[in-house]
Amino acid sequence: TTAMPGGGNTSIVCNLAAVARSMVGKVLVIDANMRQPGVAEALGAREGVLGLGDLMASGGALASAVQKAGDLDVLCAGTPESRIPERLNNARFEAVLDEARKTYDIVLLDTPPAVVAGEVMTIANRCDATILVVHAWNDQRGLVARLVHQLMDVRSIFLGVLLHRPRSTAGGYFKRNA
């Protein structure tokens, strides 16, 4: 997840998926951002078709909604009318994740920004591990510290902070560097 909108977690998730695909085997990217999904566009999949929201509404099989995007499998957010964030807090979402864990070697979820969406901590409670993507020179330290503490209190393992879009500066070590 990321702290604020525009933090770059969609591009980070897509890049991590590409690296994981080259290293392990079957990788699934799930767009759990019901508010402003972006994985389909980033990976070249079709958006607005059967996806996560539809699976949680109808209870269909995971394989029926997964799309191929190059070497990666993608589960988009779903049709606009099915994308209801509150559904991420039910047993059907957990069932979708369990089915994904059994089918794929690695499952990566793209979530909405934590400040905007309360469901981020619910999603984090259902994941094995979480990473906080921080937009350098943009996200405030206090906000990042608060989110780190919140992510450390959920069931998943907090892997750490990933600094996105740092600016390089002249002047040697630690002189205005992030």
First to last CA, the chain: 20
Q: 86-115 burial by CB neighbour count: b if 16+ within 10 A, else e?
A: ebbeeeebeebbeebeeebebbbbbbbbbb
For 23-65, what is each residue's pLDDT tens digit?
888 999 999 998 889 888 888 888 878 899 999 888 888 988 9
Beta strands 67-69 and 72-75, pairing class: antiparallel
Max avg pLDDT among 12-26, 34-48, 95-109, 143-157: 95-109
Q: Which amino acid is at 39?
A: V
**What is the distance between the alpha carbons of residues 130 and 120, in angstroms, rounded to a whole number?**
10
For 66-91, what is each residue's pLDDT tens digit?
999 888 999 999 888 888 888 888 88
pTM for this prediction = 0.86
